[in-house]
Structure 1
Amino acid sequence: MHRTYSMRQSRAPTASQLQNPPPPSSSTKSGRLFGKGGIGHALRRQTAGQFGPDLAKKLSQLVKMEKNVMRSMELVGRERMEVAQQLSIWGEACDDDVSDVTDKLGVLIYEIGELEDQYIDRYDQYRVTIKSIRNIEASVQPSRDRKQKITDQIAQLKYKEPNSPKIVVLEQELVRAEAESLVAEAQLSNITREKLKAAYTYQFDALREHCEKLAIIAGYGKHLLELIDDTPVTPGETRAAYDGYEASKAIIQDCEDALTNWVTANAAVSSKLSTRARTLSQRRRNNIQRNPEGHDLTGQDAPMNDRESGLWVPASAHKGGEDYEDEEEEEEEEVAAPSIQDSALNGEARGRQETVAA
């Protein structure tokens, strides 16, 4: 019998990977400070956004929660590979047909674990893109704080010293702060839309590929099950000798070919809009196209050179204007743990050599 846990010994790039090169390995695969349990999950979620600017807190919590999701997916993928190995080990002691089919089913299930590992890397593209929106939000906070601070100072002076000459100076400063805030808010609006669409395009493309390939594996798995003779036998009766070894190998090879050659253009499932949804969506797209193009406001309203007044302070000097440190990366210095990709993809490292029964 042919014994192996991995569908292929050497991993040549698939058609999908050639069309869309895989991203770097996910940052969540690095190490663990709190092990594989749920302590790290709970800690990340509870502390998310507590130390950053107010504007970025909600999105910071989302980024943390997505990190928990990826940790969970990583654990599922690893354990699925272990399940595949155990299934094959159990089937080895069964009848020839059950032994061969469970071995090949183990190959398919192990492949699912590897697909989940690849899915995590692509999912991380989405998460990193969402983080970039959060960082932009954090950078906008100082301009909001500065405008609010000046507004409060003016209100306080008008209450205590209505005739103070500082009020005129502060009002001029407020005009410049509002202009600066306007530029920052416009950039935030533009970047948020751009990055949001890019982020979820990454996620949905990865999800579509992952699910299509899972469906392929499920289909070939059912073909394998047809090789098992489940006809009831009476006590003392013997079943016919199993002759499906070549057929099971061919099914595995066909599955490998289907996974290797899959590309988005050949996806079996397509999302079709109803007439009403298609009409409304097209109307929305037409409205967007009719609108005039936006303008880059980055160079508009440059700060005036009146620092001699002693009241002008750059936004970066205000409290909260310092660089937003990502508390989410508290695990960067954790002890490295072996990743799924570090585990062997062949039978030798998974516990058994490939052997051929005499």
Structure 2
Amino acid sequence: MHRSYSMRSTRAPTASQIQNPPPPPSSTKSGRLFGRGGLGHALRRNTAGAFGPDLAKKLSQLVKMEKNVMRSLEMVAKERMEVAQQLSLWGEACDEDVSDVTDKLGVLLYEIGELEDQYVDRYDQYRITMKSIRNIEASVQPSRDRKQKITDQIAHLKYKEPNSPKIVVLEQELVRAEAESLVAEAQLSNITREKIKAAYSYQFDALREHAEKVAIIASYGKHLLDLIDDTPVTPGETRPAYDGYEASKAIIQDCEDSLTNWVAQNAAVTAKLSTRARTLSQRRRNNIKARTEGQVPGHGLDLSAQDAPLSDRDAWVPAGQHGEEYAAEEEEGVGEEDDVDAPSHTVVDTEASPNGEQRGRNHDPVGA
């Protein structure tokens, strides 16, 4: 600030910065084409989902809306620092106690503006991670489109030329396209779950740190206000000389020490789940852990102890199509890593009879 002890002087990194190094400056702080105002906000919001693959349109719009949020946060941070400076300048002409306290309050408010600016940088880490999900969605769209296009071509030929030899060729292409799409969809599912947990961990950790530090500053600001003598005086009466300079400086120093030593482990606000919420959450985590431990790397899932039927009927494939599926996967280069989560099926031996009927192993009914 302009004359008092300032928290903005050069200092060593805080404990939280050592534990969690700050990210690079936000990507929204440069390259502004339409400035800070509403035109850029409205343009980004309205055009975000107008281009690109259908699968990624909704997330593209979310990413652009978050960019608007970050631009707004930047503006708030800058204007808060300007307000802090103006408060200190106004207080210069007041009585000694008001002048000293408003100057120190300006220091605290300026620090809040700096914290908000740092929060924007950490918020950008969340937004960048969400953008990576959007990029994966965009890369999956071509495989979906190719499969749909082949399906439409087969349906058209079966309607126009039921005996066309192209149908067989297209059906083989469809098998390969389905295998390719299956791998892409599995990757999208896995990456989405991984990235969304990482993205919102960035946001909530940043929000928690920002909120805790703002609460610390607000508490010390209240202590500063106690230094102002608001006892009414009669006209012509002189107030006692102000003797709180050292006290106000000590309060600022204590505030800086509190901010410097703050770490997430010592946060004052913690989430306390009810017994029911804690039990249900733990049950969910145990279920996930049990399924994870049932996987043997390189050997798919261990289903030896599982006797419950599959709940997804679409997961079943007719026996005669298994050979084509596996052959298609080999052609596309699908390895064991891509099939870790695929359930193992037993292929039924079939052979064609002279009249074209498919015959398989006959299982005698019990008691026959």
Tell me, yes or no, if the aligned pair for 1:6 and 1:110 is still in contact at 8 Å: no
Change (3 A) 1:293 1:194: farther
TM-score (norm 2): 0.80
Equivalent in the alignment of 2:249:
249
**CA deviation digits over 1:181-214, x for unaligned, max 9?**
0000000000000000000000000000000000
Q: Structure 2 counterpart of 1:259, which letter?
A: L
* 1:47-196 matches, cutoff 5 A: 47-196=47-196
Quote the Cα distance in structure 1 between the aligned partners of 2:296 and 2:193.
13
How far the C-alpha of 1:290 sits from its partner, in A, is: 1.5
Kindly tell me: are residues 5 and 76 of structure 1, through their superposed partners in 2, closer, same or farther at Cα, counting changes over 3 Å?
Answer: farther
Q: Distance in 1 between matches of 2:38 and 2:160?
A: 55
Closer, same or farther: CA 304–100 of 1 in aligned 2, 3 Å: closer
Return the letter of the residue paired with 1:301: E
Q: Map 1:1-358 onto structure 2 (within 5 A).
A: 3-4=3-4, 6-291=6-291, 292-293=294-295, 301-303=329-331
Q: Is contact 1:92–1:99 with CA below 8 Å preserved after alignment?
A: yes
- How far the C-alpha of 1:295 sits from its partner, in A, is 7.5
Unaligned runs of 5+ in 2: 301-325, 334-368
Partner of 1:32: helix, strand, or coil?
coil
Query: CA RMSD for the aligned pairs?
Result: 1.9
Between the two proteins, the alignment pairs up a number of residues equal to 304
Residue type of the partner of 1:288? I
Change (3 A) 1:280 1:98: same
Q: 1:5 Cα shift?
A: 8.1
Whether the aligned pair in 1 keeps the contact of 2:180 and 2:332 (CA below 8 Å) is: no
Q: Which amino acid aligns with 1:254?
A: D
Looking at structure 2, the residues matched to 294 and 164 of structure 1 have their Cα atoms a distance apart, in angstroms, of 46
Q: Distance in 1 between matches of 2:64 and 2:297?
A: 34
Q: CA 1:5–1:114 in 2, change beyond 3 Å: closer, same or farther?
A: farther
Distance 1:63 1:192 in 2: 15
- Given that 2:93 and 2:99 are in contact with CA atoms closer than 8 Å, whether structure 1 keeps it comes out as yes
Instruction: Check whether the contact 1:5–1:106 (CA below 8 A) recurs between aligned residues.
Output: no
CA deviations over 1:117-138 (Å, ceiling 9, x no partner): 1000000000000000000000
Give the Cα–Cα distance (whole angstroms) in 2 for the partners of residues 135 and 53 of structure 1: 10
Deviations 1:246-284 (A, max 9, x none): 000000000000001100011001001000000000011
- 1:251 maps to amino acid: I
- Alpha-carbon offset, residue 8 of structure 1: 3.3
5+ long unaligned stretches in structure 1: 306-358
Q: Which protein shows a greater Rg?
A: 2
Residues 8 and 111 in structure 2, CA contact (< 8 A), matched pair in contact too: no
Q: Deviations over 1:277-307 (max 9, x none)?
A: 000000111111111449899x9925459xx
Alpha-carbon distance between aligned partners in 2 of 1:78 and 1:182, rounded to the nearest angstrom: 49
Q: Residue 242 of structure 1 aligns to a residue in which SS?
A: coil
Name the SS of the counterpart of 2:164 in structure 1. Answer: coil
> Aligned pair in 2 of structure 1 residues 123, 2: CA closer, same or farther (>3 Å)?
closer
Partner AA of 1:151 in structure 2: T
* Alignment check: 8 A CA contact 1:5 1:85 kept: no
* TM-score between the two structures when normalised by the length of structure 1: 0.82
Structure 1 ranges of 4+ moved more than 2 A: 292-297, 302-305
Distance 2:31 2:296 in 1: 44
CA 1:2–1:82 in structure 2 vs 1: closer, same or farther (change >3 Å)? Answer: closer
State the alpha-carbon separation in 2 of the partners of residues 49 and 293 from structure 1.
39
